[in-house]
Chain A
Amino acid sequence: MRTSKTVTASGMAARWLAALKTPVGAVSAAMLFMVLAMAVVAPILWTGQAEEINTKAILQGPSPEHLIGTDSLGRDLFYRLLVATGLSVKLALAATGIGVAAGLVLGTVPSLLSRRIGRLVTAFVNIAVAFPGLLLAMFFAVIFGVGQTGAVLAIGLATAPSFARLTQTLVAAQSERDYIAAAKLAGVGRVRRLLRHILPNIAEPLVVTATIGAGGSLLAFAGLSFLGLGVQPPAYDWGRLLNEGLNDIYLHPMAALAPGLAVVVAGLAFNLFGEAVAKTLGTPTPISGKGAATQHIHRPKTVAPSTDVELSTSSSDGDPVLTVNDLFVSFPGPAGPITPVRGVSFSLARGEAVGVVGESGSGKTQTALALAQLVEYPGSVSASRLEFLGQDQLSSPSRAQRQTLGTSFAMVFQDPMKSFNPTMRIGAQLAEVAQRHLGMNRRQALARAADRLRAVRVPAAERRLRQYPHEFSGGMRQRAMIGMGIMGSPALIVADEPTTALDVTVQQQVLRLLSAIKEQDNVAILLISHDLTLVGQVCERVLVMYAGRIVEDLPATELAERAMHPYTQALLAAVPDMETDRDRPLAVVPGRPADPSRIPAGCAFASRCPKADEHCTREDPELLQRDDGHRVACWHPSRGTGSERVPIELKLHAAALQGEAS
């Protein structure tokens, strides 16, 4: 255990040094150093000047001799302020030390003593934490008496409960770690486990909190001394100086302002330094977050002529619901833009169900979000053509267009647990679509919502409307989500992995529901999934995506026998079926998916492709029409089932495909 300790210590030093490199860390460390240096040096150097009484210079304002004036005994306030640093810092540190010590005892006792006593201590700490520190400090100040010692004890004990709470949490978290379990099995006693194993590992967050706590103690001490409950004359700290200065604030404002400022600066120094270190330790501060944005789609400056889109509309049922040409999605990355979608073109006919398959990172979801115009800042989307129901979506949307999208373009997301607003009733969430876009009032909209819930086979729809999402089961929620999509009269439902988060039995219900809606109302469906079997079940056409491009577009019926792209064949070979030998590891697509921030030249699949030659690594194949309704982007397309043509590496185990894809 010696080694682990030293590792912790050197790592700690490294992390604290790292904190110094941040601007806030550097400034606060410099401030803290100044404060501490002043606390040591000032009382030694200037105590004489600070306590020299001069009756000829009483209550003077700032002057060259007395930078911030003099007090009622003619003592120089500037020197008094400097010298007071010593006592202020010393008392704050003493109080913090007491608080940490008492907190450690209270916080570790529950893990050492019997369960019952431990619980009692925990309960007591929980009650004490609820009371503000100042109130506790005043309580203890009464008991220990007015004065310096009493105040140190009071502030120390007042900070103990929050330290105890933190210690308890940290100890509990460490106790669950494997190495503690191992030590326990090895017969290491409770006390030894705590002292040798747990405490060294929680020392760092405790020290950080203590640093921040010292800032708090400094302010609290200033408060008590200001009230006259802390330092008593003739001793003086900043709070005492403030107390004496405040009475004459009309005559002599600096006497009150200067000590106040000193307290704030010193408090900030402790506080900010602690925070800066905490930040480099990776204490969770949820500052980052993606926001909602209206997506702006740009036309690329050079509009590439669309070559093959018109041909690919397989089922001829009037105008297409959706047409997209040369769709690009990119995000700024640390090393240049990341482009998860690179030139996707296809169109969807009315009532057509199309599946989009590919590994994770192939750009499926970003394609769906871009079509729905939901790509969030700082992402950007461009296309040479994007039409929904004949409306151009490339210009910024008009009110009418929003309405069309709101009623006719439905989205179903992966995780129904997270896709409903937890603070709103299901009914209100469904109804607002109709209220917004169909001009219904609340009552009509709720009636429509009940009707739609019945349509997606949610029993007791009226009662369900008044419930919150957490009262719904997962499958029920996903059905309600689909019900929300059909509040209007959708022409297209984009479902992004709609069954991944659900039980297998519920998955089938949801899929059947989507198929039924498609049949009934001639709704087009774009089903995004990593699961080829599932897509083959529901869809008429399949788009296979790799590294942000469509590499193959073929009828679902041809998937098994006539897939031409080696990637499609590899995906097919990775699907286990009834004949798969269950004693052997599951097949996976060999190699790793292309990194969207570093797409290689030529065909992105080349590095994983058994057929790749020099031509493939040089030039990217275009997505070309083969025969009716079949497009492939490959230099060496060939028919055949994947298992015959593609050598599969049987290395990884069952979960690999699932893990890759989700």
Chain B
Amino acid sequence: MSIATRVVADATDSPWTGFVARRIGRLVVSLWVLVTASFLMIHLIPGDPVRAALGSSAPGALVEARREALGLNDPLWLQYVHYLQGLLGGNLGISMTSDLPVAQVIGDRFPATFEMAGLAFLLAVLISVPVGALMGVLTRGGRRRRTELAFTSTSIVVAAIPEFLLAVGLVFFFAVQLGWFPVAGRSDASSYVLPVVSMALGSAAMLSRIVRVEMLSVLSAEYVRTARAKRLPGWIIYFRHALPNALTATLTIGGLMLSAMVAGTVLVENVFAWPGLGSTIVASILAKDYPVVQGVVLVYGVGVLLVNLLVDVALGMLDPRSTIKEG
């Protein structure tokens, strides 16, 4: 009884402890599911993956040797143990096509993808927060119906275009027609413009709509009326009282968007022949280079999980209630 009350008291003293513990618990479980799924992937493929990779004309001895090298002849549980051990030691296996360690392949390709996704997310936030907040302030309480209509319809259409198709359009217009930017590849700063913009634009459109709607609902909240009753100037009402509240809700969806962006790089990278993980995973799937596929899937998955964790932590810092709520 006394222990129970102490635990409760501790939890109320610092909501952060319980909050962080719950989040880490969830992360560990998700990681385990991810690792297991990526391990099982190769075993779920119907037939012999090595035979499939090497082709039907490959000699049986070679297939057998390759199976032995990959440890595929061991019992499943032993393979699982080896796989986990390898992961802990940073060993993701050997590429079947290039014979390079998978960890090295990923290390080479990761920065390009990370830069692209990171810059795109930054750009999307930098566009959507001011635009959405401004549109919220301008169209609050049913003002400026035409502005609202123009904004809403434009953002719906832009958000509905998938990144890779937008990328094709941008390439045609800005690279082929105008020649301002390179068509493909990753070299100097100008080569980043089109990939990053095509990744960011749709997300920015979607996010700015969300920011606007959140801003509208916050501006009609009673605490904003309180702020007005205090005769605070408009900018304080909008920036200090309204925006942080609007952003807490935005952040949740922004986080989902960011993790979708991590995956979206796959397509955009292939439009621009961008030397990142996305073009690697597609090439590896087509070449049936399963260890590389496994490794890249793992990296993407971990990226998504980390993004979700960061969003939760940021949310906890922005909105003190969310640490208490549910968890």
A: residues with CB less than 8 A from B are: 123-124, 127, 130-135, 138-139, 141-143, 145-146, 219, 222-223, 226-229, 242, 246, 249-250, 253, 256-257, 260, 263-264, 267-268, 271-272, 285-293, 372, 374, 376-378, 402-403, 405-406, 410-411, 413, 415, 418-424, 432-433, 436-437, 468, 470, 481, 484
A42 to B259, CA, bound (A): 38
Q: Which residue of A lies closest to B172 (CB)?
A: A253
Q: Mark B162-184, 1 if CB is under 8 A from A, else 0.
A: 10110011011000100000010
A237 to chain B, nearest CB (A): 14
B108 to chain A, nearest CB (A): 20
A127-B30, A227-B267, A411-B229 known; A292-B37 Cβ under 8 A: no
Stretch at the interface among B76-84, B87-95, B121-129, B238-246: B238-246
A292 contacts B140, C-beta separation under 8 Å: yes
Q: Is B290 an interface residue (CB 8 A)?
A: yes
B297 contacts A289, C-beta separation under 8 Å: no
B161 contacts A484, C-beta separation under 8 Å: no
Task: List A contacts of B244 (CB < 8 A).
Answer: 423-424
Stretch at the interface among B3-11, B97-105, B188-196, B298-306: B298-306
Q: Is B320 an interface residue (CB 8 A)?
A: yes
Q: Is B107 an interface residue (CB 8 A)?
A: no
Interface centre among A130, A222, A271, A291 (most CB of B within 10 A): A291
Q: Which residue of A lies closest to B318 (CB)?
A: A423
Q: Which residue of A lies closest to B43 (CB)?
A: A143
A421 contacts B226, C-beta separation under 8 Å: yes
A147 to B76, CA, bound (A): 28
Q: Mark B202-238, 1 if CB is under 8 A from A, else 0.
A: 0000000000010011011111111111111110110
Task: List B contacts of A131 (CB < 8 A).
Answer: 259, 301, 304
Task: List B contacts of A227 (CB < 8 A).
Answer: 266-267, 270, 282
Task: List A contacts of B200 (CB < 8 A).
Answer: none
A249-B168, A290-B220 known; A132-B232 Cβ under 8 A: no
B245 contacts A423, C-beta separation under 8 Å: yes
A290 to B260, CA, bound (A): 33
A290 contacts B140, C-beta separation under 8 Å: yes
A507 to chain B, nearest CB (A): 20
Cross-interface CB contact of B165 among A229, A250, A263, A376, cutoff 8 Å: A263
B41 contacts A377, C-beta separation under 8 Å: no
A127 to B320, CA, bound (A): 25
B: residues with CB less than 8 A from A are: 29-30, 33, 37, 41, 44-46, 137, 140-143, 156-157, 160-162, 164-165, 168-169, 171-172, 176, 183, 213, 216-217, 219-234, 236-237, 240-241, 244-245, 248, 259-260, 262-264, 266-267, 270-271, 281-282, 285-286, 290, 293, 297, 300-301, 304-305, 308, 318-321, 324
26 contacts across the A-B interface (CB closer than 8 A): A130-B308, A132-B262, A134-B264, A134-B266, A135-B263, A135-B301, A223-B162, A229-B282, A253-B172, A267-B162, A272-B156, A286-B217, A289-B220, A290-B141, A291-B140, A291-B141, A292-B224, A292-B234, A292-B237, A374-B228, A378-B141, A413-B226, A422-B319, A423-B244, A437-B231, A481-B226
Chain A residues touching B, majority SS? helix
A468 to B183, CA, bound (A): 52
Q: Which residue of B lies closest to A245 (CB)?
A: B168
Task: List B contacts of A293 (CB < 8 A).
Answer: 140-141
A296 to chain B, nearest CB (A): 13
Task: List B contacts of A132 (CB < 8 A).
Answer: 259-260, 262-264, 304
B237 to chain A, nearest CB (A): 6
Cross-interface CB contact of A433 among B168, B176, B230, B248, cutoff 8 Å: B230
Task: List A contacts of B264 (CB < 8 A).
Answer: 132, 134
Task: List B contacts of A253 (CB < 8 A).
Answer: 172, 176
A534 to chain B, nearest CB (A): 22
B141 contacts A222, C-beta separation under 8 Å: no
A374 contacts B229, C-beta separation under 8 Å: yes
A264 contacts B213, C-beta separation under 8 Å: no
B141 contacts A376, C-beta separation under 8 Å: yes
Cross-interface CB contact of B231 among A124, A406, A468, A484, cutoff 8 Å: A406
A207 to B240, CA, bound (A): 42
B26 to chain A, nearest CB (A): 8
Task: List B contacts of A242 (CB < 8 A).
Answer: 165, 168
Q: Which residue of A lies closest to B30 (CB)?
A: A127
B120 to chain A, nearest CB (A): 14
Cross-interface CB contact of A378 among B142, B227, B232, B301, cutoff 8 Å: B142
Cross-interface CB contact of A256 among B172, B270, B320, cutoff 8 Å: B172
Task: List B contacts of A145 (CB < 8 A).
Answer: 45-46
Q: 7 closest Cβ contacts across the A-B interface?
A: A291-B140, A406-B231, A289-B216, A291-B141, A132-B263, A411-B229, A290-B220
Cross-interface CB contact of A289 among B141, B228, B230, B271, cutoff 8 Å: B141
A238 to chain B, nearest CB (A): 10
Q: Which residue of A lies closest to B244 (CB)?
A: A423
A423 contacts B259, C-beta separation under 8 Å: no
Q: Which residue of A lies closest to B231 (CB)?
A: A406
Task: List B contacts of A124 (CB < 8 A).
Answer: 33
A529 to B36, CA, bound (A): 63
A249 to B267, CA, bound (A): 17
Task: List A contacts of B285 (CB < 8 A).
Answer: 138, 141-142, 146, 229
Task: List A contacts of B234 (CB < 8 A).
Answer: 292
Task: List B contacts of A257 (CB < 8 A).
Answer: 168-169, 172
A143-B45, A256-B172, A413-B226 known; A286-B213 Cβ under 8 A: yes
A256 contacts B168, C-beta separation under 8 Å: yes
Task: List B contacts of A289 (CB < 8 A).
Answer: 140-141, 216-217, 219-220
A351 to B161, CA, bound (A): 64
Task: List A contacts of B228 (CB < 8 A).
Answer: 292, 374
A171 to chain B, nearest CB (A): 20
Given A227-B270, A292-B219, A418-B222; 6 other pairs, CB 8 A cutoff: A138-B266, A257-B169, A289-B141, A419-B226, A421-B223, A422-B319
A473 to chain B, nearest CB (A): 14
Cross-interface CB contact of A484 among B37, B44, B230, cutoff 8 Å: B230
A420 to B223, CA, bound (A): 5
A226 contacts B216, C-beta separation under 8 Å: no
Cross-interface CB contact of B227 among A219, A223, A291, A421, cutoff 8 Å: A421
Q: Which residue of B lies closest to A369 (CB)?
A: B225
A436 contacts B219, C-beta separation under 8 Å: no
A91 to B305, CA, bound (A): 30
Q: Which residue of B lies closest to A436 (CB)?
A: B232
Task: List B contacts of A146 (CB < 8 A).
Answer: 285-286
A470 contacts B320, C-beta separation under 8 Å: yes
Task: List B contacts of A468 (CB < 8 A).
Answer: 320-321
A291-B143, A292-B237, A413-B222 known; A226-B176 Cβ under 8 A: no
Q: Which residue of B lies closest to A402 (CB)?
A: B231
Task: List A contacts of B262 (CB < 8 A).
Answer: 132, 135
B185 to chain A, nearest CB (A): 14
A271 contacts B232, C-beta separation under 8 Å: no
A134-B264, A226-B270 known; A290-B320 Cβ under 8 A: no
A134 contacts B263, C-beta separation under 8 Å: yes
A290 to B281, CA, bound (A): 49
Task: List B contacts of A123 (CB < 8 A).
Answer: 29
Interface centre among A134, A257, A272, A285 (most CB of B within 10 A): A134
B231 contacts A424, C-beta separation under 8 Å: no
Task: List A contacts of B162 (CB < 8 A).
Answer: 219, 222-223, 263-264, 267
B324 contacts A249, C-beta separation under 8 Å: no
Task: List B contacts of A419 (CB < 8 A).
Answer: 222-223, 225-226
A142 to B162, CA, bound (A): 22
B304 contacts A268, C-beta separation under 8 Å: no
B41 contacts A143, C-beta separation under 8 Å: yes
A573 to B281, CA, bound (A): 80
B327 to chain A, nearest CB (A): 13
Interface centre among A227, A264, A374, A470 (most CB of B within 10 A): A227
B172 contacts A436, C-beta separation under 8 Å: no
A45 to chain B, nearest CB (A): 27
Q: Which residue of B lies closest to A293 (CB)?
A: B141
